[in-house]
Amino acid sequence: MTSISENIDQVSAQIAKACHLAGRSSDSVSLLAVSKTRPAEDIRAAYACGLIRFGENYLQEALDKIEQLSDLPLEWHFIGPIQSNKTRPIAEQFDWVHSVDRFKIGQRLSDQRPPGMAPLNICLQVNISREESKSGCLPEEAPALARQLSALPGIRLRGLMAIPKASDDEQEQRRAFADLRHLLQQLNSDLPGLDTLSMGMSGDLNPAIAEGATIVRIGTALFGARAPKNA
């Protein structure tokens, strides 16, 4: 079984190759290690290999790990669905939130961000493939929602996030990622300075980078098969 160190090397090489093929600098893509269901020692091992950005889906599990790893200078990203009654600890403990999909959540995160902290970086989650089972605003709703979110003082809108419909067809994958990139370009005409496309996971990393991803969210390829979530 390969080690986390070997997996990180392989994923980093894949990112570098995809960037080269796309005519991009490898520095233009950040690797977000999706550490949900993984124990704190796996995160510590990944940090020892140079990773600092970690993404979590489950709030209580994440808060436990943030406490256990408080001695490390990690950057914590919340990437899961957000319930309105859970926004305060997210606002207090995280550096980024990728899954804001309605104004109420953004407003609560803004209001609950502690005054001494920098604004919370957020991405607007877009249901780019229009799947009924997926979270995210619809693409046509994004411009108005982005304007509302950008006016809130406790958060900083950085860009867009999406989880496109699963597909083995690379051209279909690329079309969905291109749609998100075009939407970001549209938003930038009204809200200049948006710089983030959080898109691409272990199975569609290459097409995401080809279409402009700036953050790729990788779990399985780094840590192996997902561990069972504790009840």
Percent of the chain beyond pLDDT 90? Answer: 94
Task: Give residue 225's pLDDT.
Answer: 78
pTM equals 0.95
Asked whether the predicted pLDDT for residue 1 surpasses 80, the reply is no
Q: What angle do CA 51, 38, 59 make, to 5 degrees?
A: 95
Give the tens place of pLDDT for each residue, 156-194: 999 999 999 999 999 999 999 999 999 999 999 999 999
Task: Give residue 224's pLDDT.
Answer: 87
> Could you tell me which residues are beta bridge partners of residue 30?
215
Give the tens place of pLDDT for each residue, 81-129: 999 999 999 999 999 999 999 999 999 999 999 999 999 999 999 999 9
Task: Give residue 228's pLDDT.
Answer: 57
Q: What is the phi/psi pair of residue 212, to 5°?
A: 110, 10
**b/e per residue, 192-229, with b = 16+ CB within 10 A?**
eebebbbbbbbebbbbbbbbbbbbbbbbebbbeeeeee
Collapse the DSSP code of 10 into the 3-class scheme (helix H, G, I; strand E, B; otherwise coil) and give the result.
helix
Enumerate the H helices of the chain as residue ranges: 4-21, 40-48, 59-68, 87-93, 103-112, 142-150, 170-190, 205-210, 220-223
Give the tens place of pLDDT for each residue, 14-23: 999 999 999 9
> Could you tell me which residues are beta bridge partners of residue 137?
126
Q: How high is the mean pLDDT of the chain?
A: 95
Asked whether the predicted pLDDT for residue 54 surpasses 70, the reply is yes
68: which 2 tokens?
Answer: 């256990």
